[in-house]
Amino acid sequence: MDYPPLRDYGIIGNDDRCALVSRFGSVDWCCFPHLESESVFAAILDADRGGHFAIEPNTEYDSTQRYVDRTNVLETVFETGRGRATVTDFMPIYAQNEPGDDRFQQSIYRRLECGEGSVDLTVSFDPRFDYARAETILESRSTGIRARRDGDDRRQDDDPDENDPTDEQLFLTGDCEFSIDRSRSFVEGTVSLSAGDRQWVCLQYGGREPLSTVDYESVLEGTTRYWRDWLGGRDGERSSIPERWREIVVRSELLLKLLIHHDTGAIPAAATTSIPEAIGSDRTWDYRFNWIRDAKFSVQALHDTGHRREAREYFDWFVDIARRGPEEIVPLYGLHGETGSGIDEQTLDHLSGYRGTRPVRIGNAAATQKQLDVYGTIVQAIYETVQFGSETGVGESWDAVCDIVDYVCDHWDERDAGIWEFRDEHRHFLHSKLLCWVALDRGIALARDNGLEAPTDRWHENRLAVREAIEERGYSESASSFVQHFDTDQAIDATVLLIPIYEFLPPEDERVQSTIDAVIERLTTDDGLVVRFVDTDVREDEREAFLLCSFWLVDALVLSNRLERAREYFECVLEYANPLGLYSEKVDPGTGQLLGNFPQAFSHLGLINSVTYLARALEANGGVEPNDFRPSNVEALFRRESGSDAGRSN
């Protein structure tokens, strides 16, 4: 079995889980019962051992993928010499499920339909529990196939009345006959379709028996309706957004909603683990966690697109984190708020990795790092939520904000691992200092604008100290640019683009403009792809572009009223999405190959935020100022009701 490129994958999912489906009809990544649980299909990480659930023609074919309009329902279209068939894949998210029965949504539904001619399809079902660390037992049942994990007596049928939905079992049912290949421990079935024929193959996780009362067509209709209702028909309201960008924004919205954890509101960085940043590199990380640094960009994107409920739930999630005390805050959390042993990093040496790239990791050791930027991210997100006119206000979280800002006063001048989570080097990273300044600056603004008590004299003093340190030690005259960390003259990092975005300096400042020019000259390809850093002694230079950095460059150029180049770069970067409009973390500028975990929330957050910047600038016909991009001014781009008019004075 080969490894399809990431551009050949789509994603389906619902409130709490996702699956990657290749253009060749194979579910190559899926974890049950949750996105962060152990995998049951992991062929994307080991084509031979990982396990898959495939439906494809039994003869040569061409295939394409598309989403049903304005949904996360995926269609894979197969063209053979004899006919055309479509496999429609989705995870159900529908109100008419049995109350309290999680099995309804812990399912993959696959509709097989012949549009013309005739097509024979082969079903291949090869589940491998616990990242293929456990043996799988396959059994024929009157209802289809049961697959269960071996080695746990609790999972035997000792009690026929027991119906534990957490059992590690899978049920395969459908309109065709399945047979178990005992020699190779997997299941096969054949479906022969003629024009107009329609059949179903369905997979359910958990319980002792598959649900027996499911009307698949009704569930598909309900799932389609859910996604469209969630979008709320707001596409027509985005009058300020050029029509050619609206579809990619909608796809980004749907991807973010698909990733959002319905119980907690947390948003994982991506749906996968260990897809390498470069083929052959050991930079293979588990991204199925919520990084605190995503908070500012997530709140901004959710509010900008009018999804206030999701923004509020996410706000509640990270405010709850903030209330634990600044000394307890870590860079990333499990989707249920786990820390410590709940996300300890392990390597799975039995898996070969995507395209042979090891190690395969689960868990993430970055959770134990010191990253000073998280404090500014939290305060900025709270500040923006208040600016968006949230009914919550800052009062109920003010004590936590004060504790965080006070903590920054005591620790801003320490070294840390930085935004890129360097494991072997702690430095005075400029981005970390910038976010410490943000924590102090927004803390002062929140106290002033809301009449709240705080030790603002101390905050002012430290804000000035951080500013002086950044301006004196973070700018290189020889490089004509702000630099990656203090005490370097040449190391350039794309995070310097955030200086005008966070309003540390005005865009017209000569140092800001020369910094943007340095990024374009030294980090950026001709079509706007930006690598993270160059000429640093912290780690070797990377040749792969980090997509979020490309969107930061667009935003910085818009703020600088360099609109023509911003739009040119943005249009070019859009071309690197896969055919379904999905982005990974990185891209190889030479080949266009998508790299890193997929789909990547950060990339789609950056895209939405760049559309905000560009749409506002186009609406104003140039001449924009940073104030134009504050929450109270941008939300009207995406929905009719405007946000709060409150703004922060400099």
How far is it, in rounded angstroms, from Cα 508 to Cα 15? 44
Residue 184: predicted pLDDT: 73
298 and 185 share one domain = no
End-to-end CA distance of the chain: 59
Tell me the two tokens of residue 115: 């549009």
| CA dist 52 → 26, 27, 648 (Å) | 6, 6, 52
Residue 162's CB is within 10 A of a number of other CB atoms, namely 12
- Asked if residue 345 is part of any domain, the answer here is yes
Residue 318 identity (one-letter amino acid): F
| CA dist 56 → 73, 102, 275 (Å) | 18, 29, 24
> What is the average pLDDT value for the chain, to the nearest integer?
90
Tell me the two tokens of residue 475: 């700018």
Residue 632: predicted pLDDT: 56
Residue 556 half-sphere exposure toward CB, CA atoms < 13 A: 29
The beta strands (E) that lie in 82-162 are given as 83-90, 107-126, 136-141, 144-149
Among 203, 230, 257, the domain-final residue is 230
* Tally of domains within the chain: 2
CATH number at residue 349: 1.50.10.10
168 and 309 share one domain = no
226 and 246 share one domain = no
Residue 121: predicted pLDDT: 98
* Chain segment 425-434, per-residue pLDDT in tens: 899 999 999 9
Among 179, 203, 230, the domain-final residue is 230
- Asked if residue 526 is part of any domain, the answer here is yes
Residue 634: predicted pLDDT: 53
User: Do the beta carbons of residue 598 and residue 268 sit within 8 Å?
Assistant: no
179 and 33 share one domain = yes
Residue 542: predicted pLDDT: 94
**Could you tell me the residue range of the domain that residue 594 belongs to?**
232-637
217 and 267 share one domain = no
- Asked if residue 644 is part of any domain, the answer here is no
Q: What is the CA radius of gyration of the chain?
A: 25
Cα-Cα-Cα-Cα dihedral of 626, 372, 315, 344, to 10°? Answer: 140
Using CB atoms within 10 A of its CB, is residue 262 exposed (0-12), middle (13-18) or buried (19+)?
A: middle
64 and 206 share one domain = yes
- Asked if residue 319 is part of any domain, the answer here is yes
Pinpoint the alpha helices (H) of 412-526: 430-450, 456-473, 498-501, 510-523
197 and 167 share one domain = yes
Residue 237: predicted pLDDT: 47
SS3 of residue 310 by DSSP: helix
- Asked if residue 643 is part of any domain, the answer here is no
Residue 390: predicted pLDDT: 59
User: Do the beta carbons of residue 425 and residue 538 sit within 8 Å?
Assistant: yes
Among 212, 230, 248, the domain-final residue is 230
* Chain segment 433-450, per-residue pLDDT in tens: 999 999 999 999 999 999
94 and 238 share one domain = no
Low-confidence ranges of the chain (pLDDT < 70): 1, 94-100, 151-167, 233-239, 390-393, 630-650
* Chain segment 608-650, per-residue pLDDT in tens: 999 999 998 988 887 777 777 766 555 544 443 233 333 333 3
Q: What b/e string do you get for 296-334 counting C-beta neighbours within 10 Å, with b at 16 or more? A: bbbbbbbbbbbbbebbbbbbebbbebbeeebeebbbbbb
70 and 41 share one domain = yes
DSSP lists the bridge partners of residue 595 as 586
- Asked if residue 115 is part of any domain, the answer here is yes
CATH number at residue 103: 2.70.98.10
193 and 292 share one domain = no
User: Do the beta carbons of residue 563 and residue 579 sit within 8 Å?
Assistant: no
How far is it, in rounded angstroms, from Cα 497 to Cα 491? 14
- Asked if residue 642 is part of any domain, the answer here is no
247 and 203 share one domain = no
Tell me the two tokens of residue 19: 């699956």
User: Do the beta carbons of residue 314 and residue 292 sit within 8 Å?
Assistant: no
Residues 6+ apart with CB under 8 A from 475: 481, 482, 483, 511
User: Do the beta carbons of residue 64 and residue 81 sit within 8 Å?
Assistant: no
- Asked if residue 458 is part of any domain, the answer here is yes
How far is it, in rounded angstroms, from Cα 322 to Cα 325? 6
How far is it, in rounded angstroms, from Cα 178 to Cα 566? 55
| CA dist 158 → 103, 155, 208, 605 (Å) | 21, 8, 11, 49
211 and 245 share one domain = no
SS3 of residue 293 by DSSP: helix
> In which region does residue 641 sit, left (phi positive, over 0), alpha (psi from -120 to 50) or beta (all else)?
beta
